Structure 1
Amino acid sequence: MKDLLGLMGKAKEMQAKFQAMQEEIAGIEATGQAGGGLVGVTLTGKFEMKSIKIDPSLFKEEEVEILEDLLLAAHNDAKAKIEAIMQEKTRDLTAGLPIPPGMKLPF
C-alpha cells in the first residue's frame, strides 16, 4: 500500500511538471527562415503563426510561386525548431523514467 501511495504522489508530481512545461513551451517562439533570410516566419510554442517577414525584392508577379515556396519552407523550419525544443524539454523532464522509445507524451 505504501508503494501505491508513493506512486500516486509521483504521478501527481509529474503531472504538475508536465503542466508547467506545457505553459513554458506555449511561451516560446521560433523563427524559421528561407531563401537566405529573404522570408521569415515566427511561430509560438502552440504552432500559431505570430509574424511573417518578406523582403520587398520578392514582390514580383512572376515570382509568386517562389514566394509561396519560401513561405512554406520558413514555416516548416520554424515548426521543426519548436518541435526540437519540445523534444528536448520532454527528454529533460522524463530523464530516468522507463518510457519506451518513440512514445509520444500527450501534448
Structure 2
Amino acid sequence: MLRSLSFASIFVALLMTQGCATKTYGRQGTLTSYEKDTMNCREIDLELAKTRGFVDHVNKESEFSGRDVLAILGDFGIGNNMEKSAALESANKRIEQLRDLRATKKCEPGQA
C-alpha cells in the first residue's frame, strides 16, 4: 500500500510539472507595412542582427537540460521540438523579409 501510494505521488508530481516542462522561445513577427515604409538601411541591419541574436538564443536554449527530461517523460520531447521549429521558422521568415527589404531599398551589399 505504501509503495503504491509513493508511486502515485511521484506520478502525480510528474504530471503537474509536465505542463511547464516544454520550453518556450517566443516568435519573431513579420514585417508590418509601416516598418517596410519607414525603415532605413541602418535600421534594417539592426533588425537583422537582433533576429540573428534570437536564432542564436533559441539554439543555445534548446540544448539538453533537466527540463528536457520532464518533457521526454510527458510527450517524448515532441513539444520542445515543435516549439523550437516554430520559433526558428518565424525568425527565418523575418530574416528573409528584411533581406528582401534591403534589396528593395537598394542598401549597400555586404553590410548585413
Normalised by the length of structure 1, the TM-score is 0.35
Normalised by the length of structure 2, the TM-score is 0.34
Indicate the structure with greater strand content.
1
| More RCO (CA 8 Å, sep 6+) | 2
Decide which structure has the larger Cα Rg and report it: 2
